[in-house]
């Protein structure tokens, strides 16, 4: 994807563009840490920026992406990445899933990317010294878990936080990924709120729309089609999943509910309830956590009423 094709994330793009403009007149690019939940476009933005820098240098500074989960130790990193990809080369390298970096690799990177007036560093390993020129080599990191990044590595980077996508942004992304499909008026305002502010969800929804239309040989996706598709795929308002709905049901019947009670009712661990279910419910103000326990908000009660009405059931 080209830089100009990226939808939304205006603040993140503005920060990166500031440094790009400086690099265009010879300044070194700093190291970046792209932070945000899954599906918010960290990898996409990192790749687009790296390719933009490549274009700026007429192809001289190439782009390389590395999934950090594949890095086992410093020896492997040195032999497979530092020597063939970084050493004496012009490159922008994106370290995706940076929280998975082994500590010995992290410590090596601290030396390599250390900012200084000369914009140069050296690192020696296994009797070989590699010179890092921060005008030639640019380091980018992407993570969904910034709290797991070693603090010294985070401090050496310009942190770029990604934001939740607006409904308008998600609508644009969905339309771009439904080629040869006409989305009827009134459909996108129904679909966008179910995408959880997530660009990846918009792309997957576009795939589901194409899959739905293909066997019935239609090229227009209308409101009645959305009603049928959301029913078949069990898409609830706000994109709430069934486990999150169960949490709301538990809170509906019990005031000041404990995390342990919710976890036991759902047959899950407390940690999984906290990390996988409660965050989105809190973000949408459907539940609240106080010193007394967990409770539905007024919005939460209204949400359950709407779901009951939608499904044709009654509160028991």
Cα distance between residue 184 and residue 189, in whole Å: 11
Please state the length of the chain: 316
pLDDT in tens, 48-93: 999 999 999 999 999 999 999 999 999 999 999 999 999 999 999 9
pLDDT in tens, 144-158: 999 999 999 999 999
Per the confidence metrics, is the pTM higher than 0.85? Answer: no
What residue ranges define each of the domains in the chain, with the CATH number in brackets? Answer: 3-161 (3.40.50.300), 167-235 (1.10.8.60), 240-311 (1.10.10.10)
- Amino acid 315: pLDDT: 45
- Amino acid 303: pLDDT: 95
- Amino acid 314: pLDDT: 45
Cα distance between residue 179 and residue 221, in whole Å: 12
Q: Which residues of the chain have pLDDT under 50?
A: 314-316
What's the farthest any 2 CA atoms get from each other in the chain? 73
């Amino acid at each position: 994807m080209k830089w100009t094709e990226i939808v939304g994330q205006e603040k993140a793009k503005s920060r990166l563009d500031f440094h790009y403009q400086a690099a265009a007149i010879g300044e070194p690019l700093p190291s970046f840490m792209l932070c945000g939940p899954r599906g918010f476009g960290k990898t996409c933005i990192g790749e687009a920026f790296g390719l933009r820098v490549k274009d700026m240098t007429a192809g001289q500074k190439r782009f390389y992406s590395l999934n950090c989960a594949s890095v086992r130790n410093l020896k492997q990193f040195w032999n497979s990445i530092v020597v063939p990809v970084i050493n004496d080369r012009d490159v922008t390298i994106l370290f995706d899933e940076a929280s998975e970096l082994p500590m010995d690799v992290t410590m090596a990177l601290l030396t390599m990317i250390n900012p200084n007036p000369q914009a140069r560093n050296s690192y020696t390993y296994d009797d070989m010294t590699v010179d890092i020129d921060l005008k030639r080599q640019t380091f980018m990191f992407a993570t969904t878990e910034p709290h797991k990044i070693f603090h010294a590595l985070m401090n050496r980077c310009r942190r770029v936080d990604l934001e939740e996508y607006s409904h308008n942004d998600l609508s644009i992304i969905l339309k771009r990924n439904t080629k040869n499909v006409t989305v009827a008026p009134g459909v996108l305002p129904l679909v966008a709120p179910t995408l959880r502010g997530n660009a990846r969800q918009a792309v997957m929804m576009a795939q589901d729309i194409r899959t739905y239309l293909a066997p019935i040989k239609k090229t227009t996706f209308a409101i009645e089609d959305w009603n049928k598709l959301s029913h078949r795929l069990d898409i609830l308002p706000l994109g709430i999943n069934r486990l999150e709905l169960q949490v709301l049901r538990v809170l509906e019947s019990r005031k000041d509910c404990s995390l342990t009670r919710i976890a036991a009712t759902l047959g899950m661990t407390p940690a999984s309830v906290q990390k996988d279910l409660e965050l989105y419910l809190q973000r949408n103000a459907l539940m609240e956590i106080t010193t007394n326990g967990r409770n539905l908000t007024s919005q939460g009660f209204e949400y359950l009423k709407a779901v009951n009405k939608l499904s044709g059931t009654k509160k028991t």
